[in-house]
Structures are given as structure tokens and as C-alpha cells.
Structure 1
């Protein structure tokens, strides 16, 4: 028994075959098309420019605000539901069945976005929220398989392989969509005709690429209570809620020894708010302010994906020499310069310069931040403390985009003014980072880590 009475023992520790490791990594390849095409490049621009365009006649920021509101609602749902869903998955050892459900939900929601046209606001927002919640929930579930198929010696390599494969999944999705868009535009089609087809392309690619995961990935966890007819859905939900809330409270209680961990979690939540804003609104800004075409935006995001991969590798090497704090400080300075270039952008070349800076900083920021959390975390508490990391990331995914949307709305669609909030997140994040002491955080782990292993084996009422 471990955290909150959840039995995390596994079935016989048979070594997973390479085929199973590949199957696990393929899920990153499969789902990357959703974030790259739906959230970052194509549908977000389509939503603002076509689906909700009529609202901009009265207020130029209305469409952008509704898009950011949809992102905020989706992330709020995930923020509240993830601990419960995770507790249920652990308690019954049903990660894989739940992963099938969330994948079907995301694929179906993405495919149905093909029906959203001009004026279909409620339908488009509802489908984006559903598909995004399903995507994020599936991402949490697939990550939970990592300790089952790897150990501390190769966990980094296995995770890194999947991360890299995911970049190529996003790139392939974009290439397929770009090829279709070029073909469609050559025959006189407009966005209302070709964007729906790109949603079908992403949905089909997600479904097909995820098949190896469902065919070859095994569930090794041993259930505390097998799913039976006598164990109702209501009972499962109540147990999951008790365990999920108990896990969060227990983590906060145990983590109180780690001052620099909490300082960095606050720092991360602030600068990640800026990162989250760029991810879901950069393409909208490029079209609405600078006037980039859909093809130009897709090409730019393609290049940024390669730059992000390069940044993660290069800054990973730099991090080993300079330390995580200094490396993060450098990347945040790059972010500040990049956003400043975007703020003053008046031609496509400006966006290409800023985009590559953003790509370089994005891969490095995510890699260095995750590594620093690992340094501030005792080996016996990794799952719990990374749960706090996940909470900080979700809060950032709500605060950043919604702040941009609110400013855009009340300023009548002034994207440059809204961008200042994004710049502020990076500046404040850099200042907060300077209060984090990397060595002191590592000392806290060695001082408290061996003793900080008590668990709350309290069984909530079922």
C-alpha cells in the first residue's frame, strides 16, 4: 500500500519488449496532431476568423475572448477531474480502458469539429472543450504507464524517445494538412471548405497511430478493488473523489519542507502562463495583426517544431554545465526578446525571427523546468510532487490565455495590448526565478527525503 491506500504493486516484473515500448511512445506520436493542428495552428485561427467572425463587428476582441474562454473551461475541468480520474484508474487498475475512452472522445470530438461553420459558436466551443478535456485526460493516463514499462536507469531515454516521436507526429499532421490546403486552394476552396477536412485528417491519423498502443501496451498494475457489477459508478466516483482530494492535501502537507520547490512552482505557474498563451494564440496574432496566410502559419509552425527539438537538446547539454536555474534564466530572456519582437512585428520576416526564438526557448523551458522539479523532489515522492507540477501547469493554461482574451475583449481587439500581459508573465517569472536557490533545494531533498516517506493509508468510505 502507498499513497492514500492505493496499491501500486505491479504484476510480475517482466521486462517489456521493444514492441511495447514503441507502442507506448506511439501515443505521443498519435495525439500530437491534435495540439499542433487544432489548438495551435489551424482551428484556432479558423474559429476566430470564420466561426466567430460575426461577433467582431461589435467588438474586435470577442472572437478571441471566446476561444480563450473555451481553453480556460477545458483546463479547469481537467484541473478538477484529473486527481479523481487518476485515483479511480489506480484503484481499479483500469488505465488502459479509460485511455481507450478518452481517445475515442478526442477523436470523435475532433472529427465533429468538421461540422462547425460560420456562426456555430455553441457547437464549436462545446466540441473544443470536450475534445481538449479528453486529450488532456488521455495524456495523463498514458504518462502513468511509464513507471510500469521502465526503471530509473532508462526512464529518461524512454520518455525522451516518446517526446521526440511526438514532435514528428505533429510535423506529419501539419504536412498532411498543408498539402491538402494547397491542393484545395488551387481549386478555389476557402477556409470554410478546407479546414473541416483538416479536422478529419487529424482525427483519422490520431485513431490509426494509436492502434499500436491499444494492441501491444499491457496494464501491469494490480487493482485494489476489481471492477464488478456490485461496485457502482457512483461508488467509484465517491472513492475517486476522496482519494484524489486526499492525495492533493497529503502532497501539500509533505511538501511543506521544500521552500524552493514551492517558490519554483509559483515561478513556473507564472512564466508558463506566458508559454500557454503563445501556444494557443500565436497563430491568431500572426493572422490578425501581421496578416500571415494559413499556409505561412503552417510553414512557420513546422519550422518552430524543429527549432523546439533543437532547443531541448542543446539547452539540455548546457543545463548539465550551468545548472537548471541559470539555463532557465537564459531561456526566459529569449522569451522576453521573442515576445518583444512579436509586439513590434509589422511584416512576415518579424514573425519568422520571433517564431524561431520562441521554438528555441519553448523546448528548452519545458525540459529545464521539468528537470528542476525532479532535482527538488525526493525519489520516494516523485508521483506526488509531479502532481503539484501538473496542477501548476493547468493553472497556467487557464490564467495565461484567459488574461489575453479578457484584455483583447475590453480593448476592442487590440492584440498588441493583450500581448503585453504575455510579456509581463515572462518578466515576472524571471524575477521570481532569481529567488529560487538550486543548491538549497537539493540540500532539502537530501535532508528530508529519507525521512519524508510517510504515507496516508487511510481508506475513505466507499
Structure 2
């Protein structure tokens, strides 16, 4: 493993960085993918016809806030060498608001929506910041492998959270408890595991960045805007980065729809119960961990662009199978293909942004990546929610239409040149 890391990075520090992926994955697994989303639709919104749309619009609001703030947070983190301090702030925010979701009960949209928006905002902001450490830790020719380790460990973290919640749900159901009784407790479990597992990151991971020369006569907010404006003015120099960010918006739109609506689709279209849905998500997390780890090494061998293209073909196959599935057998096949592609495509995308990022603007460029991902998290789920609402609950058509974003992403990806993009980043270092 040391041969994959930068000369001044220890295995222990790389593990501490990856542990943040382990820690925060419980949030997406439990709140966004497996438990709280279906609970929101069926219990909090009381199965109203607009419930799925309300869920996707709530998330869209949180992602819109990230879109507005991510590049500025990144610019500030670069200017003041503050990635780790800001990461601590976002972690505390996500943990606190996730725990507070325990108060969201039947009909409690007034509390569920604000807490969901805030918890997801802090989660997404922290996700961008931890990613910005990647180019500091990995050797240039192994950035895909190291990214894959982190992402695969993240899915293991999701499995730990899901396993703990599944064990509690099974126990609670044997007592005759309803979802309104046991889902709030899973929010507390998720928050506690996030807080505990992130401790190694803050104790061991180093902030290697140095404060940048500050712009005279500007406060930190003005300087963040000025640095962002400078990047936009020099956009032509980073044309492959920008093209890939546009590509990311589209292919991630499909991924985010799957992540956000997997449990809802399983229960509404395939008629899975809570226990079946949790088991499905559990198994998919296993395949996602395998996909992230295996593709991390593969992309360093065959190249980042071919690796991402391969996963997008896989996503297209998954969408067709999920749409065609009439019973659980074919749907399970589709779900596990999604798992393999999910870990691989997300890890590969993060690695490619690291390759395109100048040393002095890593947090800022990962903030732009976060902006693209969060735009996609608005586009994909809202598309799905609108189609399901307009068609009076046709989830099969919704997944099929959302899947078209993978095809668009594949077409845009064909114009990205990894070597040219990396050369532009090195010339600006």
C-alpha cells in the first residue's frame, strides 16, 4: 500500500482519511437510501399523492444550498488552509441534525423537511472537503486506487450502519412496534456511528495546505468570491475539467435518482416490505464496495475515461432491467449491477477531478465538483418525482426516463481528454 501513497503520507493517515468515507456513508445509506426516505413518504407525508415529489423537492432545496456555497467554501478553504476546520464544522452539523430527525413523526412535515435540508447540506459540504485531501495523499499514478479504497471502505461503513439498524428494526418488529416507533431510533444510531467513526480522521489526518497570499483590501467572503471569479475567468485553461463537470451533472443525475429513490421504488413498484428493502440495500452495499475497490485499480490501468464509460454502460443495462422486472429475481440482478456501477463510477469521478486540480486550488475545484454533483442531485430525483406525480405513480416510467441521463453523460464524456486536463492542472501548480 505505501507505494500508492505520497512520500510523506503514512498508511495510518491514509486509513484515517478513508475512515471519513466509512463514517459519513451511514448517513446516505440510512437517511437517503434505505430507511428515512420510505418512512418520509409512507409515514411523515402519510402516503399523499405528492409525497415522493415532496421528498425529492426537499432534497433539491438542500442541494441548491450546496450549489450556491460549495465553490465559495472551497475557495475559502484554499485561501486559509482550512479544509480540516471546515470539515469538523460540517460533521458536527450533519450529526446533530440527523439525530434531530428522530423527532419527525406522522404528519410532521414541518420538522422533517427543515431537518432533512440541513442535515443533507452539512453532509454534502463535508463530502466535498474530505475529497479535496485526496490529491495530497495519493501518488499521481495511483489516485484512482486510493479513491477506490476510500469509497469501498465507505460502503463497509454503510453496511455497519445498515446492519445495526436492521438488527434493531427486526427486534422492534418482534415487539409489535411500527415504523413510527423504530425509524426515529435508527436516526440516533446513524448519528452516533457517524460521530464515532469520524474521530480518527480528526485525530490523524494532516492539513498539508498552506494559506495562500490574501488579496489586499478584501475580507474572507470577498476574497472567496474573487478567487472563484478568477477560476471562471481562466475556464478555457481547464476545458477538460469543465466538460467533465457537465458530464458529471448528467450521469450523476441518474445515480442520485437511484440513491434517493431506491427504497421507494422497491416498495412502490416491487411491493417490498421494510425488511426486504433493508436486505436489498445491505446486499447492494456489498457489491458497491467490491465495485469501488476493484475499479479503483482498473481505472489506474486502463485510464479514468474508459473506466467511467464502462460503468455508464453498466448503468444503462441496470435501468433497462429494473424497468422490465416484474418480480424480485430480475430486480435483484438490476440492483446488484447498480451496486457495482455505483461504487466504481463515483470513485472514478472523484479521482479524475483530483487529476484535473492544481495544487493551489484543490478544495476550490472539489467544491466545483460538489456543485456539479449537487446540481445532478436536483435534476435526477426531481425528474423522477415529477414523472411519478404526473403519471399518478408510474415508477417504472420514472426510472426509465431518469436513466436517459446516463446516455447523455456518456456522449459528453467522449470529449474529455484526461492527459490534456492533467497537463493544464500541472501548468497552474
Question: Is the TM value for this pair above 0.5?
Answer: yes
Query: Residue 290 of structure 1: SS of its match in structure 2?
Result: coil
Partner residue, 1:442: 419
Correspondence 1:167 to 2:135: no
TM superposition shift of 1:351: 2.0
Partner residue, 2:3: none
Partner residue, 1:345: 325
Distance across 1 between alignment mates of 2:139 and 2:422: 21
Q: 1:322-361 residue pairs with structure 2 within 5 A?
A: 322-361=302-341
Partner residue, 2:73: 85
Partner residue, 2:32: 39
Q: 1:309-328 residue pairs with structure 2 within 5 A?
A: 309-319=289-299, 322-328=302-308
1:99 and 1:346, CA in 2 relative to 1: closer, same or farther beyond 3 A?
same
Partner residue, 1:185: 173
1:202 and 1:370, CA in 2 relative to 1: closer, same or farther beyond 3 A?
closer
TM superposition shift of 1:92: 4.2
TM superposition shift of 1:208: 1.7
Correspondence 1:103 to 2:103: no
Q: 2:348 aligns with which of 355, 358, 368?
A: 368
Q: 1:212-231 residue pairs with structure 2 within 5 A?
A: 212-223=200-211
Q: 1:288-299 residue pairs with structure 2 within 5 A?
A: 288-299=268-279
Correspondence 1:302 to 2:277: no
1:353 and 1:17, CA in 2 relative to 1: closer, same or farther beyond 3 A?
closer
Aligned length in residues: 422
Q: 1:51 aligns with which of 33, 37, 44?
A: 44
Query: Residue 409 of structure 2: SS of its match in structure 1?
Result: helix
1:369 and 1:43, CA in 2 relative to 1: closer, same or farther beyond 3 A?
same
Report if the CA contact (8 A) 2:104-2:184 is conserved.
Answer: yes
1:352 and 1:379, CA in 2 relative to 1: closer, same or farther beyond 3 A?
same
Query: Residue 192 of structure 1: SS of its match in structure 2?
Result: helix
Q: 2:18 aligns with which of 21, 25, 29?
A: 25
Q: 1:128-147 residue pairs with structure 2 within 5 A?
A: 128-146=116-134
1:20 and 1:407, CA in 2 relative to 1: closer, same or farther beyond 3 A?
same
Distance across 2 between alignment mates of 1:332 and 1:14: 34
TM superposition shift of 1:107: 1.3
- Unaligned runs of at least 5 residues, structure 2: 1-5
Query: Residue 269 of structure 2: SS of its match in structure 1?
Result: helix
Report if the CA contact (8 A) 1:26-1:210 is conserved.
Answer: yes
TM superposition shift of 1:386: 4.2
Bigger CA drift: 144-153 or 328-337? Answer: 144-153
1:72 and 1:25, CA in 2 relative to 1: closer, same or farther beyond 3 A?
same
Partner residue, 2:390: 410
Report if the CA contact (8 A) 1:381-1:453 is conserved.
Answer: no
Report if the CA contact (8 A) 2:21-2:157 is conserved.
Answer: yes
Bigger CA drift: 277-286 or 337-346? Answer: 337-346
TM superposition shift of 1:189: 1.2
1:322-374 deviation digits (Å, cap 9, x = unpaired): 54444333322221121112122222223211101111221222233344445
Partner residue, 2:62: 74
Distance across 1 between alignment mates of 2:141 and 2:409: 32
1:192-213 deviation digits (Å, cap 9, x = unpaired): 1111111111111112222233
Distance across 1 between alignment mates of 2:304 and 2:141: 21
Distance across 1 between alignment mates of 2:420 and 2:142: 25
1:29-61 deviation digits (Å, cap 9, x = unpaired): 21111111111110001001111025x2xxx2x
TM superposition shift of 1:177: 0.7
Partner residue, 1:425: 405
TM superposition shift of 1:284: 0.6
Q: 2:110 aligns with which of 116, 122, 128?
A: 122
State the structure with more CA Rg.
1
Partner residue, 1:3: none
Report if the CA contact (8 A) 2:78-2:360 is conserved.
Answer: no
Distance across 1 between alignment mates of 2:279 and 2:370: 31
1:445 and 1:93, CA in 2 relative to 1: closer, same or farther beyond 3 A?
closer
Measured on the aligned residues, the alpha-carbon RMSD in Å equals 3.1
Distance across 2 between alignment mates of 1:216 and 1:320: 27
TM superposition shift of 1:105: 1.6
Correspondence 1:197 to 2:185: yes
Query: Residue 291 of structure 1: SS of its match in structure 2?
Result: coil
